[in-house]
Amino acid sequence: MVSGPWCARRRPARPGGRRSAPGPPHLPVRPIWLCRACGRPWPCAEARLLLRVEYDASPVDLAIYLSGLYHEASHDLFRLNPHDGPTPRDLLERFVAWGPYRRGIVEPG
Protein backbone atom coordinates (compact mmCIF):
# COMPACT_ATOMS: atom_id res chain seq x y z
CA MET A 1 0.00 0.00 0.00
CA VAL A 2 1.27 3.47 -0.81
CA SER A 3 2.05 5.35 2.37
CA GLY A 4 3.70 8.50 3.55
CA PRO A 5 2.74 12.02 4.52
CA TRP A 6 2.35 13.14 0.89
CA CYS A 7 -0.45 10.69 0.06
CA ALA A 8 -2.79 11.50 2.94
CA ARG A 9 -3.89 14.80 1.39
CA ARG A 10 -5.23 13.72 -1.99
CA ARG A 11 -5.11 9.97 -2.21
CA PRO A 12 -8.53 8.69 -3.26
CA ALA A 13 -10.12 6.03 -1.10
CA ARG A 14 -10.33 3.79 -4.17
CA PRO A 15 -7.90 4.49 -7.05
CA GLY A 16 -9.86 5.01 -10.24
CA GLY A 17 -12.94 4.08 -8.26
CA ARG A 18 -15.35 6.83 -9.28
CA ARG A 19 -18.10 5.21 -11.21
CA SER A 20 -19.09 6.67 -14.54
CA ALA A 21 -21.35 3.82 -15.61
CA PRO A 22 -23.22 0.94 -13.99
CA GLY A 23 -21.13 -2.10 -13.17
CA PRO A 24 -18.09 -2.79 -11.06
CA PRO A 25 -15.60 0.05 -10.53
CA HIS A 26 -12.33 0.02 -12.44
CA LEU A 27 -10.15 -1.04 -9.52
CA PRO A 28 -7.09 -3.29 -9.54
CA VAL A 29 -7.26 -6.95 -8.57
CA ARG A 30 -4.08 -7.42 -6.63
CA PRO A 31 -1.51 -8.92 -6.79
CA ILE A 32 -2.12 -9.58 -10.51
CA TRP A 33 -2.97 -5.93 -11.29
CA LEU A 34 -5.84 -6.56 -13.67
CA CYS A 35 -8.95 -4.38 -13.77
CA ARG A 36 -11.85 -5.76 -11.77
CA ALA A 37 -14.36 -4.34 -14.28
CA CYS A 38 -12.88 -5.04 -17.71
CA GLY A 39 -10.07 -7.56 -17.08
CA ARG A 40 -7.42 -5.45 -18.83
CA PRO A 41 -4.07 -4.59 -17.26
CA TRP A 42 -4.70 -1.95 -14.61
CA PRO A 43 -4.77 1.02 -14.88
CA CYS A 44 -7.05 0.46 -17.85
CA ALA A 45 -8.17 3.37 -20.03
CA GLU A 46 -11.24 4.02 -17.88
CA ALA A 47 -9.21 3.99 -14.64
CA ARG A 48 -6.68 6.39 -16.18
CA LEU A 49 -9.44 8.77 -17.17
CA LEU A 50 -11.00 8.60 -13.71
CA LEU A 51 -7.63 9.20 -12.05
CA ARG A 52 -6.99 12.23 -14.26
CA VAL A 53 -10.37 13.64 -13.26
CA GLU A 54 -9.77 12.83 -9.58
CA TYR A 55 -6.39 14.60 -9.58
CA ASP A 56 -7.20 17.37 -12.06
CA ALA A 57 -6.24 20.10 -9.61
CA SER A 58 -3.17 18.23 -8.25
CA PRO A 59 -1.08 16.73 -11.06
CA VAL A 60 1.98 16.45 -8.82
CA ASP A 61 0.01 14.35 -6.35
CA LEU A 62 -1.09 12.10 -9.22
CA ALA A 63 2.53 11.67 -10.32
CA ILE A 64 3.57 10.70 -6.79
CA TYR A 65 0.62 8.35 -6.42
CA LEU A 66 1.33 6.63 -9.75
CA SER A 67 5.00 6.22 -8.83
CA GLY A 68 4.00 4.47 -5.61
CA LEU A 69 1.65 2.16 -7.51
CA TYR A 70 4.44 1.40 -9.99
CA HIS A 71 6.64 0.32 -7.07
CA GLU A 72 3.92 -1.89 -5.57
CA ALA A 73 3.00 -3.48 -8.90
CA SER A 74 6.65 -4.14 -9.74
CA HIS A 75 7.08 -5.95 -6.45
CA ASP A 76 3.85 -7.98 -6.78
CA LEU A 77 4.28 -8.96 -10.41
CA PHE A 78 7.95 -9.90 -10.08
CA ARG A 79 7.14 -12.05 -7.05
CA LEU A 80 4.36 -13.83 -8.96
CA ASN A 81 6.40 -14.46 -12.10
CA PRO A 82 10.09 -13.51 -11.92
CA HIS A 83 10.96 -14.97 -15.34
CA ASP A 84 8.16 -14.02 -17.74
CA GLY A 85 6.58 -10.99 -16.13
CA PRO A 86 6.44 -7.48 -17.59
CA THR A 87 9.72 -5.61 -17.87
CA PRO A 88 10.41 -2.58 -15.69
CA ARG A 89 10.03 -0.39 -18.80
CA ASP A 90 6.62 -1.93 -19.60
CA LEU A 91 5.46 -1.27 -16.05
CA LEU A 92 6.83 2.28 -16.10
CA GLU A 93 4.84 3.00 -19.27
CA ARG A 94 1.75 1.33 -17.83
CA PHE A 95 1.76 3.07 -14.45
CA VAL A 96 3.73 6.28 -14.74
CA ALA A 97 4.44 7.47 -18.29
CA TRP A 98 0.84 8.39 -19.14
CA GLY A 99 0.59 10.70 -16.15
CA PRO A 100 0.65 14.50 -15.98
CA TYR A 101 4.12 15.22 -17.29
CA ARG A 102 5.25 18.00 -19.57
CA ARG A 103 8.30 18.47 -21.69
CA GLY A 104 10.29 21.65 -21.52
CA ILE A 105 9.82 24.22 -24.27
CA VAL A 106 13.47 23.94 -25.33
CA GLU A 107 15.01 20.50 -25.59
CA PRO A 108 18.72 20.24 -24.70
CA GLY A 109 21.31 19.77 -27.34
Judge if pTM exceeds 0.75.
no
pLDDT band at 100 (very low <50, low <70, confident <90, very high): confident
pLDDT tens sequence across 16-62: 555 455 788 999 999 999 999 999 999 999 999 999 999 999 999 99
pLDDT band at 12 (very low <50, low <70, confident <90, very high): very low
Distance between CA atoms of residues 35 and 7, nearest Å: 22
What amino acid is encoded at 94 in this protein? R
pLDDT tens sequence across 86-95: 999 999 999 9
* 8 A C-beta contact, residue 36 and residue 46: no
- Residue from 55, 54, 52, 29 nearest 40 by CA: 29
